[in-house]
Amino acid sequence: MTLAAPPCLPAPTLLAALHPATGAPGCREVAEEVAVALSYDGATQAVMMATPTALEDFALGFSLTEGIIEHPDELLATAVVPRPQGLELRLSLAAPRQAALLQRRRLLRGPLGCGLCGVESLEAAMRPPPAVTSDFRLPAAEVPRAIRALDQAQALNRLTHSMHAAGFWLPGHGLLALREDVGRHNALDKLGGALARQGLPRGQGAVLLTSRVSVELVQKTAMLGVAVLVAISAPTGLAIRTAAACGIALVGIARGSAFEVFSRDDRVIFA
């Protein structure tokens, strides 16, 4: 049996990248992500960042794994509606499942998208982050040192081999804070809390990540006021565009002595 390919595969986005040491320009293909609102009979249940492929499968699978339906026949219709902020999946449920979901929403505390249409939920999810106004610039030679220090400081990951880390690097001082978690977003949130508690100069250092860079991580970095984000894996196209828009230098694929700069290369000082 052969594995069926997901339908409607989009072409990866081809973006410019700068390479270390010389800062010579190059090109790299990066994956895309968009905000996808899953709306059931007019009310949004969730907004997820997703690759815009096989969306009908995504809608059905999400409905099953979240317990919204128990059988595929209970999802009556799926429509993909393009929006300026992303995509809306308009889903229609069989009457018993529609009633059960409504009751489930009433029992939940907090907003969770209840009562919001897909347009409003997409706008909330894709609210632009604040501009980063710091004048900080990171010497290129600091990137390999920072990533080595991040790897060496991951005590929990050495024990479990299942943890992400987020760290804060201050040139001249080294790795001042590190937090670990099974979730990459959680690790960055923990780091943000540590920076705030310790009163560290967020605008004069760099955030380090052990994961790929999706748009939420750029948004969180911008909220912290950090001007440089360095990760060991590649960013998505949306993450790159968001970083450029809010003034963050996005450095990816930082492994060994190699790395690539995807946005605001003026914030990286090449020898």
Distance CA 175, CA 76 (A): 53
| Range name among 78-92, 93-107, 214-228 with the lowest pLDDT average | 93-107
| CA–CA dist 40, 78 (Å, integer) | 10
69 pLDDT above the threshold of 70: yes
Look at the pTM and tell me if it is higher than 0.85. no
With beta carbons less than 8 A apart as the criterion, state whether 209 and 164 touch: yes
Which residues are identified as catalytic? Answer: 114
Give the per-residue pLDDT at 93.
96
Are 56 and 77 spatial neighbours (Cβ–Cβ below 8 Å)? no
Q: How confident is the model at residue 1 (pLDDT cuts 50, 70, 90)?
A: very low
Is the pLDDT assigned to residue 56 strictly greater than 90?
Answer: yes
CATH 3.40.140.10 fits 138-269, yes or no: yes
Q: What is the pLDDT of residue 169?
A: 98
> Any idea where the domains of the chain sit in the sequence?
34-125, 138-269
Q: What is the mean pLDDT of residues 51-60?
A: 91
Q: Share the mean pLDDT of the chain.
A: 88
Instruction: Determine how many CB atoms are found less than 10 A away from the CB of residue 5.
Output: 8
Choose the weakest-confidence range: 11-20, 163-172, 252-261.
11-20
Who has greater pLDDT, 126 or 164?
164
Q: For domain 34-125, give the CATH number.
A: 3.10.20.10
